Amino acid sequence: MDWSEFFSMGGRALYVWGSYGITFAFIFMELILLINRKKKIERQIRFQHDTSET
């Protein structure tokens, strides 16, 4: 087996590599959403803490 055979995946390269691409895109999007959600929650906690001190 050589590299060209590996990357062609027996004629199913578009399906196989497309599936990998979509999967990694969704994982990346989920990471971005989680980071944004964490920042939003931290801001809310900081705001609540700041307003409760006064």
Q: pLDDT band at residue 54, thresholds of 50, 70 and 90?
A: low
Model confidence at 53: pLDDT above 80: no
Length of the chain: 54
Tell me the pTM. Answer: 0.72
Concatenated DSSP letters of 15-45: HHHHHHHHHHHHHHHHHHHHHHHHHHHHHHH
9-43, pLDDT tens digit by residue?
889 999 999 999 999 999 999 999 999 999 999 99
pLDDT of residue 52: 85
